Amino acid sequence: MPKLTAPLDLLLLPSWLVPVEPAGVVLQAHALGIRDGKIVFIGSREEAARLSANETRELPGCLLAPGLINAHGHAAMTLFRGLADDLPLKTWLEAHIWPAESRWVSEDFVRDGTALAIAEQLKGGITCFSDMYFFPKVAADCVHDSGIRAQIATPLLDFPIPGARTFDDGLHIGVELFGDLRHHPRITVALGPHAPYTVNDENLEKVRVIAEELDAPIQMHIHETAFEVQQSVEQHGERPLARLARLGLLGPRLQAVHVTQVSDDDLALLVESNTSVVHCPESNLKLASGFCPVERLWQAGVNVAVGTDGAASNNDLDLLGETRTAALLAKAVAGSASALDAHRALRMATLNGARALGLDAVTGSLELGKAADLVAFDLSGLAQQPIYDAVSQLIYTSSRDCVKHVWVAGRQLLEDGRLTRMDEQALHASACAWGQRIAGQHE
């Protein structure tokens, strides 16, 4: 740990400091110090007054927390936002989204869509996100340029996809990207087999072998709908989680996205394997896919993170709003008003997300030595008064509009609600141009 005799790069003085770890703690009259992109000081204002800093920032009325972690999404699909609303999942996917992707997705589409998604996420307090979409190298370039942190999950399907003619092509791209970015300070690479119903046993075996060789994470849509589970039983004689267990895919490196259907046997497999679940409540609600039993999973010891899914099925990348929905939905599903309280909901959107992505040693909580991935939420608004519990006010009364400042690895990427490294007007113009093309106005 760097000695505190040298000046800090930045000393932050918020009204509330919520480290997330230890759980349930809200610190007042405290400060946080940053040097070389890492947190090197957390202590009282009295202690902070004895330190020197190159810059000191008072954050009155602000709650300083770890940056939010969006553990699942398809960033470039932001350009399909609102394209095919109010349709069943199968119809939405097969009759609208897949044809649109076949027609429009290119490197330029992914570049522009990913940049738009990154900007939206930064403005909403997200400092790290997971992306599973085509042309992953292009997405990784966008992440590198923007300053945000991300996991890039290379999509893998049995049939041709944009940028990969075969499953093996996709796997080669993933392995190559993993090697290229192995030492990148803000980007990790995962393998992204799309779902049990789009990847056969032979190819899933390839994923398992390579993931073990590289020690790479795996992200996969699993148990998203009751139909998926029923189809698996009919075709394979077992539920998808049981099939994945048989193939050796379950484990701490697997990120199981959605998981709306959970039997007692499914729960036992998740617990025994230490598999993480990524909950996407608003996408599941909008597509009527089902309800992830978050409280049941949590009480059993399963690590549950939260994700937005893509903006084509959400329709936003608002993780604070997603977390509020998750907290409220968990209570209804569990039949208990005390299920997923505000502090645990914030943990789900921060440290649990980091743990799911294998980044909990780096980010997800405000602890000495971790990266200074931070968000300052402004709780001074009229609608947030009075404040008895700052975390409850954050989760239950606040919107992403209260995000004031964002830092990733100590670099400020949002200041007073304005992006510091991205051109908002250019992003807006680009998104509108794509919308006009896709809507058929300029075919």
- Does residue 183 register a pLDDT over 70? yes
Write down the pLDDT at residue 4.
66
Q: What is the pLDDT of residues 292-350, one digit of tens each?
A: 999 999 999 999 999 999 999 999 999 999 999 999 999 999 999 999 999 999 999 99
- Does residue 31 register a pLDDT over 70? yes
Please give the Cα distance from 278 to 69 (Å, whole number). 11
Write down the pLDDT at residue 90.
84
- Indicate whether 36 and 151 sit together in one domain: no
- Indicate whether 105 and 141 sit together in one domain: yes
Please give the Cα distance from 441 to 419 (Å, whole number). 31
**C-alpha closest to that of 34 among 15, 50, 57:** 57
Give residue 332's domain range.
68-356
Write down the pLDDT at residue 443.
44
- Indicate whether 275 and 175 sit together in one domain: yes
Which residue bears the tokens 């960033």? 75
Q: What does pLDDT average to over the chain?
A: 96
In a domain, 427, yes or no: no
In a domain, 2, yes or no: no
In a domain, 442, yes or no: no
Total count of residues recorded for the chain: 443
Please give the Cα distance from 193 to 171 (Å, whole number). 9
Classify residue 223 by its DSSP letter: S
- Indicate whether 192 and 262 sit together in one domain: yes
Q: Transcribe 237-291 into DSSP letters.
A: SS-HHHHHHHTT--STTEEEEE-----HHHHHHHHHHT-EEEE-HHHHHHTT---
Give the CATH number of the domain where residue 33 resides. Answer: 2.30.40.10
State the pLDDT confidence band at 8, using cuts at 50, 70 and 90. Answer: very high
In a domain, 424, yes or no: no
- Indicate whether 74 and 197 sit together in one domain: yes
Contact 254, 285 (CB under 8 A): no
In a domain, 109, yes or no: yes
Q: What is the pLDDT of residues 35-88, one digit of tens each?
A: 999 999 999 999 999 999 999 999 999 999 999 999 999 999 999 999 999 998
Please give the Cα distance from 11 to 34 (Å, whole number). 6
- Indicate whether 49 and 130 sit together in one domain: no
- Does residue 442 register a pLDDT over 70? no
Which residue bears the tokens 């992830």? 292
- Indicate whether 82 and 199 sit together in one domain: yes
- Indicate whether 110 and 167 sit together in one domain: yes
In a domain, 348, yes or no: yes
In 301-439, alpha helices (H): 319-334, 342-348, 351-356, 390-397, 424-438
Write down the pLDDT at residue 3.
52
In a domain, 438, yes or no: no
- Indicate whether 132 and 31 sit together in one domain: no
22, two tokens: 């230890």
pTM of the model: 0.97
Write down the pLDDT at residue 441.
47
In a domain, 441, yes or no: no
- Indicate whether 275 and 386 sit together in one domain: no
Please give the Cα distance from 352 to 305 (Å, whole number). 5
Domain count, the chain: 2
